[in-house]
């Protein structure tokens, strides 16, 4: 219960955020966060409603070839609700829809920021990341980062209210005037009004006066109905609620982002009974959890968290036939910025990117094997040059949960233990292109147990390419890999760029001076590899980036006294997994440089790894810059 004066001040904020913010906080509200946008007081990592919407508009202006902003409706207080659409507008490929909503519950600070950071990540890495270029060429990603602007404004200015609902005062909540509004995640019109939704207007999960009664809910439903294929919907979704959707033809995904709980949730919510596409949802949730360290939760006794009705997932899956997933981020509503920046953000950007790869056939692709590593070294245009592309493909690796749970069955997923039967490489384009390149068969290069054949659920594959066959494709060539398992399921596509440097003609060097064979100086200064041609090496450590390094010798200059040969190294990160970057903490000898590195801290006159020794997941997550590796059960530094 809040007092009368406090209630009136709160309503003033909802009615006029700018004016009331100045009255409540003075000039502090004008301070901008690190990214140059208005942020929530005390939380410089989270943009305000105005800051988030301004970011969406700025992205659309700065990247007109990728981004479009569209108004899809209004809130109860007549604030605009926007969607930011991201796709490569020049691509002629058929686009599959991915719709991401965040901020449906007002007090959950992290979800809207993750959504807008994901948008920034996509546009900033377009033209740099082959994976992202492939996603944007074949997917239309729609993001509503602020789904409940009225409620969010209350939550960002009055944290002590723990505001969850929208700002609809037109209900009968008279006893607690500070707790009016409707829970938007109980107001969707599929199975509305059932268990898990309150009929009390003052209740935190109040369902609203009728199904879809709220303007915010109506805006999301109308937009979803416009972008997801109508032909994949059921004629009578309530009567046929338990029937599965066609997994071969179902297209598109819906992702709703909430906090907190560190869960990946899938339908159903209105009952604890397996959904028709339960097996596919198992695969999707396990693979996302293998990336962000969460635990899966779904109906059918699969760590079911409780009954809800009228929610986003059941509506999109049950009514529209869309594969639907919910992210529960972090461990608190007002998550601190260290946890968000160092753990939640990097892990869930990767998870959202993976979800984006599934959009064309989510149920099918999630059951297939994943390309967990793709190494594509750079090349030169020399006629005799070749490059070897390597891939690690696994049907099982990403189905293994990062953390054991007594609520989940221990057995391996039936779709995650199949033998790999083929690995295809597409050079010069993406397999989803209207006219894709002819697939090339990669050869076995060993697997689990050292088999030199595709006889395991996890294999290594390789293919040597002749650069002279590629020079007409331009200096940057897309290379994509896809694995297929014994059940016939293809996995999601993974891509890297092969960069071909122009051929250069080196000036002839004079011969080195004659040196006595017994010269100690010559023996000490000439490395064993001197005179060898350019070589490519790949260094891989568990749960760390795969680093492809090109080593080229600089000729020894002619001089009276022999000089040391210098090795120049060019480093390209081709796979970015959890586990740190190229440098370690111990490499840093300056306190300032040490403290700027994730997972490092200056102690006792040296730079130390603060993640090492944290042998429990919860302790690891509490340390900024650290990430828990569920497979090895160790705490590692997050990537820089």
Under a CB-based contact definition with an 8 Å cutoff, are residues 340 and 113 in contact?
yes
167 CB burial (10 A radius; 0-12, 13-18, 19+): buried
Residue by residue, DSSP assigns 474-527 as -SEEEEEEEEEETTS-B---EEEEEEEEPP--PPPPPPPPP--TT-HHHHHHS-
What span, in angstroms and rounded, lies between the C-alpha atoms of 483 and 21? 54
What span, in angstroms and rounded, lies between the C-alpha atoms of 168 and 182? 7
Integer angstrom CA distances of residue 33 from 38, 66, 333, 361, 595: 6, 25, 20, 39, 21
Annotate 275-329 with three-state secondary structure: CCCHHHHHHHHHHHHHHHCCEEEECCCECCCCCCCCCHHHHHHHHCCCEEEEEEE
Among the listed residues 440, 443, 447, 445, the one whose alpha carbon sits nearest the alpha carbon of residue 424: 440
What's the N-to-C CA distance of the chain in angstroms?
45
| Beta partners for residue 39, in sequence order | 47
Under a CB-based contact definition with an 8 Å cutoff, are residues 270 and 313 in contact?
no
What span, in angstroms and rounded, lies between the C-alpha atoms of 638 and 472? 39
Under a CB-based contact definition with an 8 Å cutoff, are residues 111 and 257 in contact?
yes
Helix (H) or strand (E) holding 84: strand 80-86
Residue listed under structure tokens 């440089």: 593
Does the bond joining 598 to the residue before it have cis omega, within 30 degrees of 0?
no
At 52 the three-state DSSP class reads helix
What span, in angstroms and rounded, lies between the C-alpha atoms of 343 and 340? 6
Under a CB-based contact definition with an 8 Å cutoff, are residues 624 and 344 in contact?
no
Among the listed residues 244, 247, 246, 266, the one whose alpha carbon sits nearest the alpha carbon of residue 255: 266
Catalytic residues, by residue number, are 328
Residue listed under structure tokens 């690995």: 423
Interstrand relation of 253-259 and 43-47 (parallel, antiparallel or unpaired): unpaired
Rg (CA), the chain: 27
Among the listed residues 127, 389, 364, the one whose alpha carbon sits nearest the alpha carbon of residue 245: 364
| Beta partners for residue 178, in sequence order | none
Among the listed residues 499, 494, 584, 507, the one whose alpha carbon sits nearest the alpha carbon of residue 536: 499
| Beta partners for residue 444, in sequence order | 461
Burial 518-535 (b: 16+ CB within 10 A, else e): eeeeeeeebeeeeeeeee
Listed in sequence order, the DSSP H helices in 169-270 are: 215-227
Under a CB-based contact definition with an 8 Å cutoff, are residues 457 and 420 in contact?
yes
């Amino acid at each position: 219960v809040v007092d009368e004066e406090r209630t009136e001040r709160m309503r003033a904020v909802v009615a006029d955020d700018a004016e009331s913010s100045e009255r409540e906080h003075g000039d502090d509200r004008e301070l901008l966060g690190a990214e140059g946008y208005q942020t929530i007081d005390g939380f410089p990592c989270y943009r305000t409603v105005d800051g988030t919407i301004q970011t969406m508009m700025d992205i659309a202006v700065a990247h007109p070839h990728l981004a479009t902003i569209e108004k899809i409706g209004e809130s109860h207080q007549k604030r605009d609700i926007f969607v930011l659409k991201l796709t490569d507008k020049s691509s002629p490929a058929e686009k599959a829809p991915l719709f991401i909503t965040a901020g449906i519950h007002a007090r959950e600070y992290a979800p809207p920021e993750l959504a807008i950071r994901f948008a920034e990540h996509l546009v900033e890495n377009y033209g740099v990341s082959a994976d992202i270029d492939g996603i944007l060429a074949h997917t239309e990603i729609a993001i509503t980062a602020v789904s409940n602007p009225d409620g969010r404004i209350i939550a960002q200015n009055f944290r002590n209210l723990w505001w969850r609902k929208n700002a609809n005062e037109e209900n009968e909540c008279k006893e607690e005037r500070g707790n009016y509004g409707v829970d938007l995640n109980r107001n969707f019109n599929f199975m509305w009004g059932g268990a898990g939704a309150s009929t009390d207007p003052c209740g935190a999960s109040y369902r609203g006066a009728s199904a879809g009664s709220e303007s915010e809910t109506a805006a999301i439903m109308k937009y979803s109905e416009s972008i997801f294929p109508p032909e994949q919907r059921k004629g009578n979704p309530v009567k046929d609620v338990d029937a599965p959707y066609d997994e071969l033809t179902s297209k598109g995904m819906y992702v709703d982002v909430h906090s907190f709980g560190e869960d990946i949730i899938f339908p159903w919510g209105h009952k604890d009974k397996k959904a028709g596409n339960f097996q596919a949802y198992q695969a999707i949730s396990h693979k996302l959890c293998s990336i962000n360290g969460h635990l899966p939760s779904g109906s059918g006794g699969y760590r079911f968290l409780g009954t809800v009705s009228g929610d986003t997932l059941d509506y999109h899956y049950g009514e529209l036939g869309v594969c639907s997933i919910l992210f529960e981020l972090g461990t608190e509503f007002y998550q601190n910025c260290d946890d968000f920046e160092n753990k939640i953000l990097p892990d869930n950007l990767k998870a959202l990117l993976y979800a984006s790869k599934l959009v064309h056939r989510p149920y099918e692709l999630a059951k297939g094997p994943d390309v967990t590593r793709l190494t594509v070294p750079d090349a030169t245009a020399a006629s005799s040059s070749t490059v070897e592309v390597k891939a690690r493909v696994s049907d099982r690796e990403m189905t293994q949960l990062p953390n054991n749970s007594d609520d989940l069955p221990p057995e391996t997923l039936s779709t995650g233990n199949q033998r790999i039967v083929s690995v295809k490489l597409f050079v010069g384009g993406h397999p989803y292109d209207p006219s894709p390149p002819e697939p090339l068969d990669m050869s076995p290069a060993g697997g689990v147990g050292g088999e030199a054949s595709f006889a395991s659920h996890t294999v290594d594959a390789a293919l040597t390419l002749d650069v002279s066959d590629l020079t007409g494709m331009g200096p940057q060539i897309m290379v994509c890999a896809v694995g297929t398992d014994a059940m016939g399921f293809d996995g999601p596509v993974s891509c890297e760029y092969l960069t071909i440097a122009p051929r250069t003609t080196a000036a002839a060097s004079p011969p080195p001076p004659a040196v006595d064979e017994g010269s100690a100086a010559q023996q000490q200064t000439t490395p064993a590899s001197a005179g060898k041609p350019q070589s490519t090496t790949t260094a891989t450590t568990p749960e760390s980036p795969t680093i492809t390094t090109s080593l080229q010798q600089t000729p020894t200059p002619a001089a009276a006294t022999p000089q040391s040969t210098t090795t120049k190294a060019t480093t390209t990160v081709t796979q970015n997994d959890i586990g740190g970057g190229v440098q370690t903490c111990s490499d840093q000898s300056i306190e300032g440089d040490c403290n700027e590195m994730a997972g490092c801290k200056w102690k006792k006159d040296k730079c130390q790894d603060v993640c090492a020794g944290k042998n429990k997941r919860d302790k690891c997550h509490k340390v900024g810059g650290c990430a828990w590796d569920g497979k090895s059960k160790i705490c590692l530094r997050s990537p820089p």
